[in-house]
Amino acid sequence: MSEQAPEESPTPRRARMTAAARREQLVAVGRQVFAAKGVDGTSVEEIAATAAVSKPVVYEHFGGKEGLYAVVVDRELRALTDGVTASLTAGGSDRETIERAALALLDYIEGSPDGFRILVRDVSGTAPSGTYASLLSDVAAEVAHLLSDAFEQRELESRYAPMYAQMLVGLVSLTGQWWLETRTPSKEVVAAHMVNLAWNGLSGLDPHVSITPDD
């Protein structure tokens, strides 16, 4: 009598993702792909393949890659805005405020490098409202308000405070982009040096400034 082959156990079916879980998965995939290729260099096919879903699933949740991109950018801006806003409204001296703002940006870059790459990437006509540039403009307005009081105390012309605020925000933003790729020295050291330049530059401002004339 021949032996019967053992019955094979049925392959367990993979649990189906909920709509909310699938949406979060697609957002995570979108963040990764957009950071690497930009929205213009990314296709719905690539997003779907990376997420191991069909193209209609992407369309069902976001209407296309632009809808997914808008959600990713909105989330990243909100995370960065929350951190920077908290740093600007926590009180303390002007120097401490600048230190906290610099660290807030570096904290965000460290925790969400893909998100930061997306925010600073130049895209053509597909960026939703509320871009990184507009965030920097809002931060500069807050910094200008802080500098106005400091300028008046030092008998400097407060009408130039907004221009100096743009300089400070540009310093922090561009240094952050450089640090994104180098990651050395540590964010604390980078923040300390940024504030060293910014603060000591501000504390030594000449109230009568002009371009050196040509000989």
Token pair 């050291």 is at which residue? 189
Residue 214 covered by a domain: no
Q: For residue range 130-159, what is the model confidence (pLDDT) as tens digits?
A: 578 888 888 888 888 888 877 887 788 889
Distance CA 34, CA 112 (A): 13
Residue 176 covered by a domain: yes
Residue 163 covered by a domain: yes
Q: Are 145 and 121 in contact, with CB atoms under 8 Å apart?
A: no
Residue 114 covered by a domain: yes
Domain count, the chain: 1
Distance CA 191, CA 98 (A): 9
Residue 22 covered by a domain: no
Residue 215 covered by a domain: no
Q: For residue range 156-200, what is the model confidence (pLDDT) as tens digits?
A: 888 999 998 899 889 999 999 999 999 999 999 999 999 999 888
Q: How confident is the model at residue 89 (pLDDT cuts 50, 70, 90)?
A: confident
- DSSP code string of 41-71: T--HHHHHHHHTS-HHHHHHHHSSHHHHHHH
3-state secondary structure of 80: helix
* pLDDT more than 90, % of the chain: 48
Residue 25 covered by a domain: no
Q: Chain-centre distance of CA 125, in angstroms? A: 19
Token pair 């952050």 is at which residue? 176
Residue 166 covered by a domain: yes
Which CATH number do you get for residue 153?
A: 1.10.357.10
Q: Are 109 and 194 in contact, with CB atoms under 8 Å apart?
A: no
pLDDT for position 213 = 77
Q: Are 139 and 88 in contact, with CB atoms under 8 Å apart?
A: yes
Question: For residue 71, what are the contacts with CB-CB under 8 A and spacing of at least 6?
Answer: 27, 30, 62
Domain limits at 146? 73-204
Q: Tell me the pTM.
A: 0.79
Q: How confident is the model at residue 124 (pLDDT cuts 50, 70, 90)?
A: very low
